[in-house]
């Protein structure tokens, strides 16, 4: 495992606090961190190890706490930290599928790491051989987003496992949308596949995009490096408390409702004259190929509905990505699209 880690990170002496160093009990006066002593609900530094939160996530997922990283800028933080752990700037490269989530490329560029994009097959399936062919001895990460954004499809687990098995580097599976998929998750593989990292987020199915909270799951050894490289206080105490509270409440029945709305919306849009194809979706959005995406996009915006035009992405010409909204929002959007000429 250690051979995939940058030398400076292997040698890193991480920031530590007096509260890390003092393992005993019985302290009631906290004069170690130059905080304000006046309790206003946020005067103390948050737990840098997010122990309570990790315990709760462990209970929810069945993954042990030392295999969980919590990111305080969403899973986007985990993406950036992964580049900093594994990729030597100006030397190493990563492989990403295309089209896919844009943050991998932005984070790579910020870290001065080359991205080799491998086009999905025409039917959006995973080109395992071409992905592996694109690697060389400086390839450190293969990014696989599943279900993929913006195509909406989840890739078969066996294909991802085969790539992880054949690749001498790290495979990161971004499962931001897995809660909306019936095709399962790679989470239960992190203990047996040592080069696998799975990303999850509170932003989609949990409905907490505004809190900025994401998760990475991997072997305890890999997660140890995430914890050393992250900013020590990467999640505020208020967010940690709010997440604990929300996890107590659960996601409600919104996932079921969004999945049934996705089905209803796909059926309805297939009937619309301007729609050429609605791609199957394992996520909370639909990718829809239309006759004239620019026109439809502008027409929807003029009528108060903003969608995402993905037409400039590879394999996505004339395609709009439409998030599943409330039943009322979906009905209004369907009716606008049906009327569009």
Ligand X SMILES: *Cc1c(COP(=O)(O)O)cnc(C)c1O
- The region of 1-9, 87-95, 203-211, 267-275 touching ligand X under the rule CB under 6 A is 203-211
- The region of 110-118, 152-160, 196-204, 237-245 touching ligand X under the rule CB under 6 A is 196-204
Which residues are 119's β-sheet partners?
A: 98
For residue 94, give the nearest of 85, 103, 81, 104 by alpha carbon.
Answer: 104
CA 41, distance to chain mean position in Å, is: 30
- The residue sitting closest to ligand X, measured at its beta carbon, is 74
Please, what is the minimum distance in Å from the beta carbon of residue 208 to ligand X?
A: 9
How many residues at the interface with ligand X, by CB under 6 A? 13
Please, what is the minimum distance in Å from the beta carbon of residue 76 to ligand X?
A: 4
Site membership for ligand X, residue 174 (CB under 6 A)? yes
Helix (H) or strand (E) holding 293: helix 293-302
- Give the sign of the dihedral formed by CA 19, CA 21, CA 24, CA 29: negative
Site membership for ligand X, residue 48 (CB under 6 A)? no
CA distance 121 to 182: 22
- The region of 10-18, 73-81, 179-187, 258-266 touching ligand X under the rule CB under 6 A is 73-81
Site membership for ligand X, residue 170 (CB under 6 A)? no
Please, what is the minimum distance in Å from the beta carbon of residue 171 to ligand X?
A: 15
For residue 281, give the nearest of 250, 260, 297 by alpha carbon.
Answer: 260
Site membership for ligand X, residue 92 (CB under 6 A)? no
Name the E strands within 157-222: 170-174, 196-201, 214-217
Please, what is the minimum distance in Å from the beta carbon of residue 215 to ligand X?
A: 9
Site membership for ligand X, residue 201 (CB under 6 A)? yes
Site membership for ligand X, residue 300 (CB under 6 A)? no
Given 135, 146, 149, 195, the residue binding ligand X (CB under 6 A): 149
Site membership for ligand X, residue 215 (CB under 6 A)? no
Site membership for ligand X, residue 282 (CB under 6 A)? no
Strand 68-71 to strand 214-217: parallel, antiparallel, or no bridges (unpaired)?
Answer: antiparallel
Given 108, 145, 265, 293, the residue binding ligand X (CB under 6 A): 145
For residue 107, give the nearest of 71, 157, 133, 155 by alpha carbon.
Answer: 71
CA distance 263 to 17: 51
Given 48, 72, 99, 214, the residue binding ligand X (CB under 6 A): 214
Which residues are 126's β-sheet partners?
A: none
- The region of 29-37, 114-122, 160-168, 198-206 touching ligand X under the rule CB under 6 A is 198-206
Site membership for ligand X, residue 99 (CB under 6 A)? no
Cα-Cα end-to-end distance for the chain: 57
Phi first, then psi: give them for residue 316, nearest 5 degrees: -120, 25
Site membership for ligand X, residue 131 (CB under 6 A)? no
Site membership for ligand X, residue 94 (CB under 6 A)? no
Judged by phi (left if over 0) then psi (alpha if -120 to 50, else beta), residue 26 lies in left
Number of H helices, E strands in the chain: 12, 11
* Sites of contact with ligand X (CB under 6 A): 74-76, 101, 145, 149, 174, 176, 201, 203-204, 209, 214
């Amino acid at each position: 495992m250690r051979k995939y880690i940058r030398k400076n990170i292997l040698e890193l002496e991480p920031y530590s606090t007096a509260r890390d160093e003092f393992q005993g009990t019985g302290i009631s006066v906290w004069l170690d961190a130059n905080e304000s002593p006046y309790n206003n609900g946020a005067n103390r530094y948050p737990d840098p190890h997010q122990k309570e939160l990790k315990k709760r996530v462990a209970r929810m997922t069945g993954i042990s706490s030392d295999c969980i990283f919590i990111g305080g800028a969403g899973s986007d933080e985990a993406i950036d930290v992964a580049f900093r752990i594994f990729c030597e700037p100006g030397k190493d490269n990563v492989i990403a599928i295309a089209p896919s989530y844009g943050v991998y490329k932005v984070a790579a560029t910020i870290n001065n790491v080359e991205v080799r994009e491998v086009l999905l097959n025409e039917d959006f399936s995973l080109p395992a051989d071409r992905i592996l062919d694109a690697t060389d001895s400086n390839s450190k990460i293969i990014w696989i987003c599943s279900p993929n954004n913006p195509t909406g499809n989840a890739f078969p687990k066996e294909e991802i496992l085969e790539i992880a098995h054949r690749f001498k580097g790290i495979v990161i599976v971004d499962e931001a949308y897995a809660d909306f998929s019936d095709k399962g998750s790679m989470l239960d593989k992190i203990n047996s596949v040592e080069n696998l990292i799975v990303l999850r987020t509170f932003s989609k199915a949990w409905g907490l995009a505004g809190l900025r909270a994401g998760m990475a799951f991997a072997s305890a050894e890999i997660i140890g490096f995430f914890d050393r490289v992250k900013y020590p206080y990467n999640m505020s105490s208020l967010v940690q408390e709010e997440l604990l509270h929300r996890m107590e409440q659960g996601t409600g029945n919104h996932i079921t409702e969004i999945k049934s709305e996705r089905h209803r919306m796909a059926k309805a849009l297939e009937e619309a004259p301007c729609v050429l194809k609605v791609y199957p979706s394992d996520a909370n959005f639909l990718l829809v190929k239309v006759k004239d995406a620019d026109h439809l996009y502008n027409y929807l915006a003029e009528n108060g509905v903003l969608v995402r035009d993905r037409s400039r992405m590879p394999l996505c010409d004339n395609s709009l990505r439409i998030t599943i909204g409330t039943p009322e929002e979906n009905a209004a959007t369907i009716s606008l699209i049906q009327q569009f000429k």
